[in-house]
Amino acid sequence: MSKNKQMEITDFIASCDEAGEEQIEYEQKERVELDRNIIHSLNVEAVIHGENQFGEYVGLVTEESVTFFGGYEAADVKRVVGSKAAPFTIELVRTQVDSKKTEGRKFNKVHAKLL
């Protein structure tokens, strides 16, 4: 990045910080990994979509915590949630399913429905 471009970004950030009258502090939520083979009911306040070095992920934020799903599980959650606006309630169960292509191999799957 050029020095001029960096200065432009730095100046822009500074002007935004000066214009903001109050600082917003985001509450840290506990990260929860849901146990497998148990039906969980979540009252979702927000849905987070992102990408990291492992691929795409989806996070379901509740009042108390956030649960992240990656890989096939993220695809399963995205398929059910779609563009549904929060808040909503979802029931889901995490399982491991036998691969049809590779004998002896399992993959993670989420079975879910909106309530």
52-54-57-74 Cα dihedral, nearest 10 degrees: 170
Cut 0.85: pTM above it: no
- Reply yes or no on whether the pLDDT at 5 is more than 90: no
How confident is the model over 103-110, as a mean pLDDT? 92
Tokens, residue 4: 């001029």
The model's pLDDT over 32-55, given as tens digits with 9 standing for 90+, comes to 999 999 999 999 999 998 888 888
Contact (Cβ atoms closer than 8 angstroms) between residue 108 and residue 73: yes
What are the DSSP calls for 31-73, one per residue? E--PPBTS-EEEEESEEEEEEETTEEEEEEE-SSEEEEEEHHH
Length of the chain equals 115
> What tens digit of pLDDT does each residue of 51-104 get?
888 889 999 999 999 999 999 999 999 999 988 898 999 999 999 999 888 899
